[in-house]
């Protein structure tokens, strides 16, 4: 097949599909569906989320002991305020 024949076949298929869809659409226009009223009863569920915290390895180190500040505190109390 050469390219022109292939293009002609594709165009022919598209025309046939277009005409067929128009025929189906025209035949459905006359049909009317009427649905009765329906009541649906139920409960709305609240969304739930779960999460799991994995235990972590915490490494604690002791802080070096600092000098006591009580002597400095006593000095400020013994001084005159003004």
> pLDDT by residue (tens digit) across 17-56?
777 777 666 666 666 667 788 888 888 888 888 888 777 7
The more confident residue out of 68 and 30 is 68
Q: Where are the domains of the chain?
A: 1-30
> Using alpha carbons only, how large is the chain's radius of gyration in Å?
44
Q: What is the dihedral of CA 11, 15, 16, 18, to 10 degrees?
A: 140
What pLDDT does residue 81 have? 75
14, containing H or E segment: helix 3-28
Percentage of the chain modeled with pLDDT above 90: 0
């Amino acid at each position: 097949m050469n390219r022109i024949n292939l293009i002609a076949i594709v165009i022919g298929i598209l025309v046939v599909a277009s005409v067929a869809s128009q025929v189906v659409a025209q035949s459905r226009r006359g049909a009317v569906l009427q649905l009765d009223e329906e009541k649906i009863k139920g409960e709305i569920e609240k969304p739930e989320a779960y999460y799991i915290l994995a235990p972590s390895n915490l490494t604690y180190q002791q802080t070096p002991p600092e000098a006591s500040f009580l002597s400095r505190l006593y000095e400020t109390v013994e001084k005159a305020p003004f």
